[in-house]
Chains A and B, each alone.
Chain A
Amino acid sequence: MRSRQFVPEAIGRQPWQVLIPLLGLVSLGAAVLYSAAGGHLQPYAASHVYRFLVFLVMAIVMSRIPREWYRELAYPAYGAICVLLVLVELIGGMGGGSQRWLNLGFMTLQPSELMKPGIILVLARFYETLPAPMTASWRGLVPAGLLIALPAGLVILQPDLGTALAICFGGAVIMFLAGLPLIWFLGAGAAGVVLAPVAFFAFLHDYQRKRVLTFLDPENDPLGTGYHITQSKIAIGSGGLFGKGFGNGSQSHLDYLPEAHTDFVFATMAEEWGMMGGLFVLFVFALVLSWGLRVALRTPDRFSSLLAAGMTATIFFYVAINLMMVMGLAPVVGIPLPFMSHGGSSMMTNMICLGAIMAVNRWYQAPKRLG
């Protein structure tokens, strides 16, 4: 702690015990992307690191924003994102096809990505203001449910099942942590078990249905939709304990692995770095996520702890679904691996989540250190 005297406060106060492993993870990601591009920094690795650094600055800026701003901005931000979602829908409708992004000139923005942290923020704010006794009544459930259903519905229309699920998951975790009666969750779970088959046949698109079926039996269709899962498992399995060595992954280099630089980047990594690389990735995520939860637990006020826990849940959802998919434990859903997959939108979402947790961390660190 004494070292703080030698470094500027803005730097010294950052949660380096998390950021340094994270930097390691991003570097590993960059190395994998470098290899996936056939030993070139372009087009993946350089922009990956560059984006991380830009969004890290953004996260640090976010961490310095006072708590009041977050609270005041929760509803307006939520509303604004919803407007953007509708806008995307309209533009897509006019263009005669589905569209998920807005072209801002300097970058393309997916409003649905923003909604992942957005839903956490607005629900944290909602439950903060909700009088405690009402938590167990319908007034604790229905407005929150509507807050989730609106954006989730809009995103499903796009159609983007993965993101809609992420929004619902984030919302559900906040409701759970906010103390809604457990029986509701158990009931919803039971209803889900009953309704899942109905939803499977009634609401899913053909290609989504196929993905689920393929997940259940990938070898049934090894050259069709089962191809992704099969090739991914081959990549991971053939890597062994220590991998084939940097730049030697045949699955990714010879294009057997689909989406080797985005959704299946973990398989690309595991092929070349082996199980050790995979354990390192899991370890870093464990550090980040447990830190996020610790921040939430350490925080006395309701808004902040819900915010931090929710943001952690969002990152967790990405990690869990992606890794399960890549290892053949979940159907193929287009969800990238945080901090490793190439892609600006997911990097932005995850860094917003990280920035929010860092902010919560900072709100309750500063006074302590002063005192």
Chain B
Amino acid sequence: MKWFKPRHVSMATLRNSFDRRSLVFGSLQAGVGVLLAGRLGYLSVTQNEKYQLEAESNRVNLSLIPPRRGWILDRNGAPLASNRADFRVDAIPERMTDPLATVAELGKLLELSEVEIRDLLDKIEKSRGFAPIEVATGLDWDRFAAVSVRLPDLPGVVTQRGFSRYYPTGCTVGHLVGYVGTASAEDYEKERNPLLVTPGYKIGKDAIERVFEHRLRGKPGARRVEVTASGRIVRDLETREDDPGAPVKLTINGPLQDYASRRLGPESGAVVVMDCTNGDILTMASMPCFDPNSFSDGIGRLEWKMLADDDHVPLRNKVLRGLYPPGSTVKPMVALAFREAGLDPDASVFCGGGLRVGNRVFHCWNRRGHGQVNMAKGIYQSCDVYFYHFAQKIGMDKIAEMAKHLGLQQEFDLPVVGQSYGTVPDPAWKLRKYGKEWADYDTVNATIGQGYMLVNPLQQAVMASRIASGRKLMPRLIYTGKPQNAPSLGIPQDHLDYIHQAMSDVINGPGTAGRARLPIEDVKMAGKTGTAQVVGLNISSGKGGPWKYRDHGHFICFAPFDKPKYACAVVVEHGGGSGAAYPIARDVMTFLFDPHKALEMLHGFEEGWGGTAQERLDKRYAAYAAEYGGNAPAVSAEEEKEKVREAEESPADDQPIVNSAQSPRPEPTAPAPAATPTTSGAPAPTASANAPFIPLQPPAGTGQ
């Protein structure tokens, strides 16, 4: 009280005040002491449990061990896709403080090339931060250890011993089994599974890998480790093993798949082989292809440029996505339709090189004519006039019905990512699509597999297997080992026998593909050639000239012809005619009966081509790396999507209207009267429907 009033201050009062105030100050200290002791008790006794938990969650890091992916097996249990033990390094961009410096350091430690460093920086830039990016896999111990010991100085870098996907036959199974890759941001958003962003974990990106993702995935293991604040692992606490995914067994015959892919050589094409007894697909080869092994770590700039520059469209699975005018390979089917409609096979027509319908002449591929032609000759000589003539009589609807019955324009129930099913035109379809009446020349075109007719190689193989077996076989890709009790097509056996004989004559008789004969004593193959034009004669003869103007080569076949076991379809894009296709079919079929003989032949070819498909792909990559180094332009995400979309797009979507008959193309082994000078000098094409001769339109968006 008295402190507040002005008063006389002496040394004595000051001493008093000091004593009092010291006590105040002392009690303040005691108060703070009690407060601190209370706080200490609160934290370490009352809140003990909470903080113990937090300390534990600091200390212990639970990390998922990516499960080993289920294998993809061929019908005999050989792996088409397996896993191999692997030392790997990943980077998590979000946790990187200085990506440039870290990548430079990694580049030094891992001896990365300039291209790889460029790609890595691209991926870091594009990524969404939390998703791990693969830096390197398949490292040797020295390089792995070099990175591991420097982890504290490399924030965001993760080293792991794990497993990575391995495709033993590389690029020959790319389209068939697909590939794996790190989950994209969209994948993660769809399925909020922490496994997806675990470093080293890959999901299926295409084909079988994608369709069977959940079956192949398995259950992740877990590892509890003690970590420091900076994430360095101090020691392992506890580990639960992963539970590997279930295998998927395909009907594919692995060696045959490999053989067929390699046998396609430098061509762009597809080979499908089916078992005609049960519908199992033994081979689905589409070349050229990418290497799924190198796709798994993401697609690098250089790799991308290489694929994008390739006019053979390596990204398209031609077996399912490639649509082609089937050319004359439809003739056995058309002949069956004729029989079905009651046509006597011995009914014949005279082929003088063309057929006049009204005031128009439709040419046979053989301008000199085949003379008197019955059904068998129509098939083995591939006489167009025979088919023009009787198709006019029988009508398109019957033919279209048979075509669909045999599998054309059908989508099959297969575990694949997409199928383009093409077109089997008929009058109703044309009216619906173009609002125009069906015309004579439409029938003419369709009976020789041109015009609007578009099929994919799988459908051709199914057609071959159905003709061979007489049963409505459905193609199968998943191995069951059980027979397929396919219902009969309802085609009388004598019809089939007749067609089989005619198809055998194509090869073993006076037909168009004598050189397709199997080099095996007692196995006779039956087949049918097909050559489909890509551009009109006024642009190119289809045999030589620029690659993209050359004719497509087709061949369908089955063997043995009297007791069909295997059916096969081969398409060679712009192969210049069926002559490019049937040698491949012959060798693939040979492989089924005598692998050694077939391989000998292949090795001979591969010497000329410069190695196996994989070797040529690797060489090509090396050449690109040498030419462009790290300077290939970056791939934007949109560009990548656009390119993939383009590759998947079916050409059928933008089929232009056809206004005239298309010229059939010469079959290879016939005495070759190539394009006559009269047609090359033909007047400019007119759209008029009654133009007398054959002014050729560039044909309906036939695949590239």
- Residues in A lying within 8 Å of B, measured CB to CB: 132-133, 135-136, 173, 176-179, 181-183, 231, 233-241, 250-251, 254-256, 270-271, 274-275, 278-279, 282, 285-286, 289-290, 293, 296-297, 302, 305-306, 309, 313, 316, 320, 323-324, 327-329
Contacts and interface: CB of A to CB of B under 8 A. Distances in A.
Nearest to A243: B44
B51 A309 contact: no
- Of B8, B36, B43, chain A has the most CB atoms within 10 Å of the CB of B43
Contacts of A177: 18, 21-22, 25
A240 B45 contact: yes
Contact of A282 (B22, B26, B33, B58): B33
Contacts of A309: 18, 22, 25
Given A132-B10, A235-B55, A293-B26, A240 B44 contact: yes
Interface residues of B, number: 47
B227 interface: yes
A240 B48 contact: yes
B33 A255 contact: no
Contact of A238 (B30, B52, B230, B234): B52
Contacts of A135: 9, 14
Interface string B122-135: 00000000000000
Grouping DSSP codes into helix (H, G, I), strand (E, B) and loop, the A interface class, with mixed when no group exceeds half, is helix
B19 A297 contact: yes
Contacts of A290: 26, 29
B228 to A, nearest CB: 4
B18 A179 contact: yes
Interface string B8-47: 1111011101110110011001101101110111011101
B90 interface: no
A250 B45 contact: no
B223 interface: no
Contacts of B230: 255
A328 B227 CA distance: 25
B29 A237 contact: no
B615 to A, nearest CB: 51
Given A270-B44, A282-B37, A329-B39, A133 B54 contact: no
B59 interface: yes
B18 A305 contact: yes
Interface of B: 3-4, 6-11, 13-15, 17-19, 21-22, 25-26, 29-30, 32-33, 35-37, 39-41, 43-45, 47-48, 50-52, 54-56, 58-59, 226-230, 234
Contacts of B15: 302
Given A133-B9, A250-B58, A297-B19, A237 B25 contact: no
Given A133-B9, A296-B22, 14 more contacts: A132-B9, A135-B9, A136-B9, A236-B44, A241-B45, A254-B229, A254-B234, A255-B228, A282-B36, A282-B40, A290-B29, A305-B18, A305-B22, A309-B25
Contact of B22 (A132, A293, A329): A293
A285 B4 CA distance: 34
B48 A238 contact: yes
B14 A178 contact: yes
A240 B228 CA distance: 22
B151 to A, nearest CB: 14
Contact of B58 (A173, A234, A240, A289): A234
Contacts of A240: 44-45, 48, 52
B6 A254 contact: no
Nearest to A227: B229
Contacts of A275: 40-41, 44-45
Contacts of B4: 181-183
B36 A254 contact: no
- Of B10, B30, B51, chain A has the most CB atoms within 10 Å of the CB of B51
28 contacts: A132-B14, A133-B9, A135-B14, A177-B22, A177-B25, A179-B9, A181-B4, A231-B58, A233-B51, A234-B58, A236-B51, A237-B48, A237-B52, A238-B54, A241-B45, A250-B58, A255-B228, A270-B44, A278-B37, A279-B37, A279-B40, A282-B36, A286-B33, A293-B26, A302-B14, A316-B32, A323-B36, A327-B40
Nearest to B21: A177
**8 interchain residue pairs of minimum CB distance:** A237-B51, A238-B55, A255-B229, A179-B17, A238-B51, A237-B43, A250-B59, A275-B44
A320 B59 CA distance: 30
A69 B37 CA distance: 40
A241 B52 CA distance: 12
A256 B41 CA distance: 22
A153 to B, nearest CB: 26
A237 B22 contact: no
- Of B15, B25, B30, chain A has the most CB atoms within 10 Å of the CB of B25
A233 B229 contact: no
A266 B623 CA distance: 65
A297 B47 CA distance: 40
Contact of A256 (B29, B45, B48, B58): B58
Contacts of B13: 132, 179
B510 to A, nearest CB: 84
Contact of A176 (B10, B25, B47): B25
Nearest to B44: A275
Nearest to B60: A250
Contacts of A238: 48, 51-52, 54-56
Nearest to A327: B39
A133 B7 CA distance: 9
A136 B41 CA distance: 43
A285 B37 CA distance: 12
Contacts of A182: 3-4
A279 B38 CA distance: 10
Contact of A324 (B36, B47, B227): B36
Nearest to B34: A282
A235 to B, nearest CB: 7
B58 to A, nearest CB: 5
A313 B29 CA distance: 9
A297 B58 CA distance: 49
Given A233-B51, A302-B15, A327-B36, A256 B44 contact: no
B686 to A, nearest CB: 76
A237 B45 CA distance: 7
B51 A234 contact: yes
A106 to B, nearest CB: 34
Contacts of A133: 8-10
B54 A234 contact: yes
Contact of B229 (A256, A286, A313): A256
Contacts of B18: 177-179, 302, 305-306, 309
Contacts of B17: 179
A289 B33 CA distance: 11
Contacts of A254: 58-59, 226-229, 234
B36 to A, nearest CB: 5
A327 B43 contact: yes
Contacts of B33: 282, 285-286
Nearest to B51: A237
Given A254-B227, A305-B18, A173 B25 contact: yes
A208 B236 CA distance: 40
A275 B44 CA distance: 6
Contacts of A183: 3-4
Contacts of A278: 37, 40, 44
A237 B51 CA distance: 5
A237 B44 contact: yes
